[in-house]
Structure 1
């Protein structure tokens, strides 16, 4: 890789984004998270859904839970055609227009198979076909194998992820699954940096966010924390075709501090405390008002009762594509802000409204 030398472990971020882990099948990501968190925390556990929680014991009775989801949007094989092509069912929200001519990995019991989603050449398509609406149901995966071999190697229920490496593009890092492996990466970096926090800190890598915040909802029942923080990517529409009021956030503008998304409204006192810390420590930041889309913040906020909640976000262009892009300085700012919140949370703040 080339580009600005970041203040964090770029190789680990690349590993996290490049491996596959769709909702409910986050095994490979979970292995990396366990490997990296274990030496940094006092306790490490997984639960029946697959959430990973690393706990750093504090010196007070107060506790904080921070959640970032491990899963990426992907597919499950629903049918193998007689001519050896795969039909898919989506796991998470896809815009089918971005799937044409993409490379994929089919995860079978016998190992991974490379494949591609083809796109017929325009030379052979009529005007109606060229202007037609793309649907995930119409997608077919071509494995480059004869039908008998495909039938032997691929089964209904096998998983499919897009295939992409993490690359520098100017000051940006681009690839697949930055939503939300960049936040999982931030959890690990925070664990490395936290020293003797006052509040007990639960760092949670959650599952099945992309299909309804399911892992965080279960975790919110199991962990009775005094403060909940969500970590996720957020929209950066600072590209041609959008007015300034539609940007939500801008790359290079710093960490996003959430006011609301479609699933949660941040506790005003929590939001103000996060913003004040960013100002005091000169951490680049920007306010986030996300008109659509939910995050684990909501799963934690009320699953186990009324919990004060806030969120830190990583501005990201081209969400839910294989060219998701984040600014390297925004990643650094988000990690710095997370650590600042966790190391100063002492349990003495009154978040009741």
Structure 2
């Protein structure tokens, strides 16, 4: 959707569609190494905690895009986290803070590339993560797209 829209941006944009996340986040690692970005934003699902008998997780469906604070392998750079929150507040985008106790987004590999890349993650709350019946809210997905549009337009 965002690529088709081709929004104007004062920045060089690279969209990486990576695979092999489940076996070591390999795709992101090689992409970040070759591109050498000024910063990276990972887009990934995050486990929601609003499932029957599920673990207590603060992220919920229909509560907005999740700005990831940390996951198992990455702590979002404060300047990026704060900018994502600021953009959500400026644009009236519904958001929530995301913390992943297990698992990681591709941003973890990008963050460690070469001399390090300031990295953040925009996450979509998802029920039944890593199953054949994952479920996300259309409103949360749209909130994530709106945040990405703002980021492309305004930058970090």
> Structure 1-normalised TM-score?
0.43
More relative contact order, 1 or 2 (CA 8 Å, 6+ apart): 2
Structure 2 residue corresponding to 1:226, chosen from 25, 38, 55: 38
Q: Distance in 2 between matches of 1:326 and 1:257?
A: 16
The structure that is strand-richer by fraction is 1
Write the deviation string for residues 293-313 of structure 1: whole angstroms up to 9, x where unpaired.
011001111212221110100
Asked if 1:252 corresponds to 2:62, the answer is yes
Deviation track 1:117-160 (CA, whole Å, cap 9, x = no partner) reads: xxxxxxxxxxxxxxxxxxxxxxxxxxxxxxxxxxxxxxxxxxxx
Q: Which residue of 2 aligns with 1:203?
A: 15
**Counterpart position of 1:314:** 124
Counterparts of 1:241-320 in structure 2 under 5 Å? 241-242=53-54, 246-320=56-130
Unaligned stretches of 5+ in structure 2? none
> Which structure's CA Rg is the greater one?
1
SS in 2 for 1:191: helix
Number of corresponding residues: 156
CA contact (8 A) 2:7 2:152 kept: no
- The runs of at least 4 aligned residues of structure 1 exceeding 3 Å deviation read none
1:331 aligns with 2:141: yes
- 2-structure distance, mates of 1:248, 1:223: 34
1:54-78: CA deviation from partner (whole Å, max 9, x where unpaired): xxxxxxxxxxxxxxxxxxxxxxxxx
TM-superposed deviation, 1:213: 0.2
Question: Please, what is the CA RMSD of the aligned residues?
Answer: 1.2
Q: Report if the CA contact (8 A) 1:254-1:283 is conserved.
A: yes
Checking the alignment, whether the CA contact within 8 Å between 1:248 and 1:290 is kept in structure 2 is no
Match of residue 236, structure 1, among 45, 48, 60 = 48
What displacement does 1:242 show? 4.1
Q: Secondary structure at the match of 1:330?
A: helix
Q: Partners in 1 of 2:6 and 2:67 — Cα distance? A: 21
Tell me the distance in 2 between the aligned counterparts of 1:230 and 1:195.
19
SS in 1 for 2:3: helix
The CA deviation string for residues 18-44 of structure 1, in whole angstroms up to 9 with x for no partner, is: xxxxxxxxxxxxxxxxxxxxxxxxxxx
* Conserved 8 A contact 2:69-2:98: yes
